């Protein structure tokens, strides 16, 4: 499971990541084992971004436990190869798990009662 420490329910982000981090992760879900330059080449077509910014974002995602990396030697020396630690479904499950646990920790039985009522109403609408 992916380590989730902070949740922000923004429209553009994935809940725990900045919009740029979210874009980078979405690219990694499509292209496993990717170099910084490969991600940069995809993103620069969509937005103005520096290669060094992508490297910093990937380092942050690595520190957050969202991506993994390995060192590979090639032309020009050594470079990191990045891949996501979890697929999109597992990442979403981690975010939801963290969110629900935080709500229950903060609001206790009120949160549990709300979830029970919410799911009961949804089930009744679907039947």
CA–CA separation, 16 and 7 (whole Å) = 5
To 10 degrees, what angle do helices 36-43 and 19-30 make? 110
* pLDDT for 9 beyond 80: no
This prediction's pTM: 0.74
SS3 state of residue 67: strand
Q: Which is it for the CA torsion 26, 43, 37, 9, positive or negative?
A: negative
Domain membership flag for residue 117: yes
Evaluate if residue 16 carries a pLDDT over 80: no
**Per-residue confidence (pLDDT) for residue 8, from 0 to 100:** 54
User: Residues 93-117: what's their mean pLDDT?
Assistant: 88
Residue 12 inside a domain? The answer is no
10 lies in a domain? no
Domain of 70: which CATH number? 1.10.10.10
Task: Note the pLDDT of residue 13.
Answer: 46
The DSSP bridge partners found for residue 72 are 79
Residue 54 has a pLDDT of 97
Q: Is 6 among the domain residues?
A: no
User: Which ranges in 17-126 belong to alpha helices (H)?
Assistant: 19-30, 36-43, 51-63, 88-107, 109-126
Average pLDDT of span 8-23 = 69
Is residue 113 scored above 50 in pLDDT? yes
Helix (H, G, I), strand (E, B) or coil at 69: strand
In a domain, 13, yes or no: no
Domain with 37 in it = 19-126
């Amino acid at each position: 499971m992916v380590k989730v420490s902070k949740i922000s329910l923004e429209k553009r982000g994935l809940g725990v990541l900045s919009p740029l981090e979210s874009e980078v992760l979405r690219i990694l879900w499509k292209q496993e084992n990717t170099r910084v330059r490969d991600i940069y080449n995809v993103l620069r077509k969509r937005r103005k971004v520096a290669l060094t910014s992508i490297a910093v974002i990937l380092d942050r995602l690595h520190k957050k436990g969202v991506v993994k990396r390995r060192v590979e030697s090639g032309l020009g020396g050594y470079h990191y190869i990045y891949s996501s630690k979890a697929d999109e479904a597992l990442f979403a499950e981690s975010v939801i798990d963290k969110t629900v646990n935080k709500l229950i920790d903060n609001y206790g039985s009120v949160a549990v009662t709300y979830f029970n009522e919410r799911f009961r109403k949804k089930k009744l609408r679907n039947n």
